[in-house]
Chains A and B, each alone.
Chain A
Amino acid sequence: NAGVTQTPKFRVLKTGQSMTLLCAQDMNHEYMYWYRQDPGMGLRLIHYSVGEGTTAKGEVPDGYNVSRLKKQNFLLGLESAAPSQTSVYFCASSYTGIIEAFFGQGTRLTVV
């Protein structure tokens, strides 16, 4: 049971570089989410998707873009990385969007 898998697990970027974080789930969940976790701030929602081909902004969407071309995959893109985007990023999925979210292991991103 893979559940929710995030790739990569660690990454160091230089300011201005771009990258894509991949989230894959094998539970046939409709809902997928990208969060960032920063000390003392808990988890903040960046973007989410309520189904294949749909995306929506969360609490902190600026500087990020997402795509959900396939139901099982949710991609998070940073077009021009900034030091303020140094964080741990978590992907999650849910069958109903109300009852229980399942989380990946996280991606630790450092922007220098």
Chain B
Amino acid sequence: AQSVTQLGSHVSVSEGALVLLRCNYSSSVPPYLFWYVQYPNQGLQLLLKYTSAATLVKGINGFEAEFKKSETSFHLTKPSAHMSDAAEYFCAVSDMNTGNQFYFGTGTSLTVIP
């Protein structure tokens, strides 16, 4: 069965520091991978997605993620954190065997310290 594991339910970084949010997935076939961001009292917004093209994916707001098949990982990074990056981040997976469903991780809450 497909699943997503996000290591660290809470991550704190200083403003200007590197942001690294971890995501590992399980899938028996090539996956499609996503990172979503949720600001307080809002819905989920797509940050970026991997759909079997380039393994390094660039998204909005300076975020990027690298698909590593050997490590079954899709970690999210941003070189320099900004106060506006404080939010909840969700990793998700889908593939041809998920029955047209998306499987989400439990989320990582990012705090940016001024």
Contacts and interface: CB of A to CB of B under 8 A. Distances in A.
Contacts of B94: 97-99
| Centre residue among A50, A97, A98 by max chain B CB count within 10 A | A98
A90 B100 contact: no
Contacts of B106: 40-42
Interface residues of A, number: 27
Interface in B26-66: 32, 34, 36, 41-46, 49, 51
Contacts of B107: 42
B14 to A, nearest CB: 25
A48 interface: yes
Contacts, number: 60
B99 to A, nearest CB: 8
Interface in A50-69: 50, 56, 58
Interface of A: 4, 31, 33, 35, 40-43, 45, 48, 50, 56, 58, 90, 92, 94, 96-106
Given A97-B94, A98-B32, A48 B100 contact: yes
Given A40-B106, A41-B106, A42-B106, A97 B42 contact: no
Interface of B: 9, 32, 34, 36, 41-46, 49, 51, 90, 92, 94-96, 98-102, 104-107
B96 A98 contact: yes
| Centre residue among A35, A92, A100 by max chain B CB count within 10 A | A100
| Centre residue among B9, B49, B106 by max chain A CB count within 10 A | B106
Contacts of B32: 98-99
Contact of A50 (B9, B36, B42, B100): B100
Nearest to B36: A103
